[in-house]
């Protein structure tokens, strides 16, 4: 949330410093903050985009810093749907869309929508096709800016996830109803970016257990079949010569990223099912920095497993070193996560700096 407005142009100076700090261990793999594929896919003024040449140019020095450190980066491609701000969209003359008409996240989203005279409506099929083209352009732009690849964000209640979940998708056309139909938009987007930049440069983020954005998570016993189907379709593509880089899954211990660690955990499910279907790398994320014994078990059980960190990666620029050495972690300040300044972004100390500052006391 440190991009400039209007234009959703990333802050080259701050963001390059942030990722420069966090890519100093050679071989680090960075997944960027979620990045809008087009103006209509957005609705947050200070989140970055990747649809304009100005944005591409702003990303170049950021990715160069990562590569100069001999590390790697995929850009996460984002579409908001009904998690956008209806009034911000109305200001810019853009519709407030989702999979279906008038199925709001909650009353507060409905009230903002009604006040802005921008009711939530279903995407038309031509609009879906345009979104798919936007994914292609965004993927091409990301690689042109220097990214090693892209991650399709189909998680945590944003637009693609809204199509997957029967709670938010009440459509009766080819994008609704059956498991196959609800997966169609996601798979068409994946196929589009694979065709544009190559399967080896594409990953996907899924949250089978997520409830953020009023998703069903484990409360719907039929929903896991939806994710198993998608993963199976991706494995079919892999066997046909289009093997994606990875699948990225959030753990059931984090069903809502706004909750603090330990809250909202779904204890009756596991992501282990994915290994029976997908035979490529699987990234797992979700409150793992505080559970290092669980991490050891995950990576020892299957050598295709990688582990991702978010909140503690923000607060610990030297996180790989600290994890390797079993060192104390800096606490993070959630209040500064989405500020527009460098506070709580590029001013966290390394372990040695923290000792000098007496942060361990």
Instruction: Out of 44, 104, 158, 312, pick the active-site residue.
Output: 158
CA angle 88, 90, 94 (to 5 degrees): 100
Strand positions, DSSP E, 279-320: 282-285, 305-308
Q: Is position 266 annotated as part of the catalytic site? A: no
Exposed/middle/buried for 163, CB within 10 Å: 0-12, 13-18, 19+? buried
* Distance (Å) of CA 320 to CA 114, 326, 348: 47, 10, 15
Based on C-alpha coordinates, what's the Rg of the chain? 20
Exposed/middle/buried for 340, CB within 10 Å: 0-12, 13-18, 19+? middle
Tokens in use for 191?
A: 């196929």
* Distance (Å) of CA 313 to CA 258, 320, 348: 16, 9, 10
> Which residue, chain included where needed, has tokens 């999979």?
99
Q: Is the distance from CB of 237 to CB of 187 less than 8 angstroms? A: no
| Residues involved in catalysis | 158
């Amino acid at each position: 949330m440190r991009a400039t407005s209007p234009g959703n142009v990333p802050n080259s100076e701050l963001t390059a410093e942030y990722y420069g700090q966090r890519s100093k261990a050679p071989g680090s793999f960075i997944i960027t903050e979620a990045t809008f594929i087009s103006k209509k896919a957005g609705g947050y003024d200070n989140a970055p985009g990747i649809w304009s040449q100005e944005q591409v140019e702003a990303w170049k020095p950021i990715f160069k810093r990562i590569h100069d450190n001999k590390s790697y980066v995929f850009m996460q491609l984002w579409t908001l749907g009904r998690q956008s701000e209806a009034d911000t969209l109305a200001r810019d003359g853009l519709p407030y869309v989702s999979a279906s008409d008038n199925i709001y996240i909650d009353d507060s989203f409905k009230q903002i929508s009604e006040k802005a005279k921008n009711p939530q409506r279903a995407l038309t099929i031509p609009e879906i096709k345009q979104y798919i083209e936007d994914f292609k352009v965004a993927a091409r732009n990301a690689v042109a800016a220097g990214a090693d690849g892209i991650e399709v964000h189909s998680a945590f209640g944003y637009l693609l996830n809204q199509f997957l979940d029967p709670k938010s998708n009440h459509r009766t056309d080819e994008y609704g109803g059956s498991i196959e139909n609800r997966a169609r938009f996601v798979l068409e987007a994946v196929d589009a970016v694979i065709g544009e930049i190559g399967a080896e440069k594409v990953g996907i983020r899924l949250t089978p257990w997520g409830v953020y954005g009023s998703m069903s998570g484990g409360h719907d016993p039929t929903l896991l079949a939806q994710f198993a189907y998608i993963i199976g379709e991706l494995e079919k593509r892999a066997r046909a010569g289009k093997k994606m880089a990875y699948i990225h899954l959030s753990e059931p211990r984090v069903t809502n990223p706004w909750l603090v660690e330990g809250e909202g955990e779904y204890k009756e499910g596991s992501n282990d099912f994915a290994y029976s279907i997908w035979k490529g790398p699987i990234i797992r994320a979700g409150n793992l920095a505080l559970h290092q014994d669980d991490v050891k078990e995950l990576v020892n059980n299957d050598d295709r497993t990688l582990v991702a960190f978010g909140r503690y990666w923000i607060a610990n620029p030297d996180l790989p070193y600290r994890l390797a050495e079993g060192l104390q972690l800096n606490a993070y300040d959630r209040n500064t996560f989405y500020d527009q300044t460098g506070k709580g972004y590029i001013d966290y100390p390394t372990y040695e700096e923290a000792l000098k500052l007496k942060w361990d006391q």
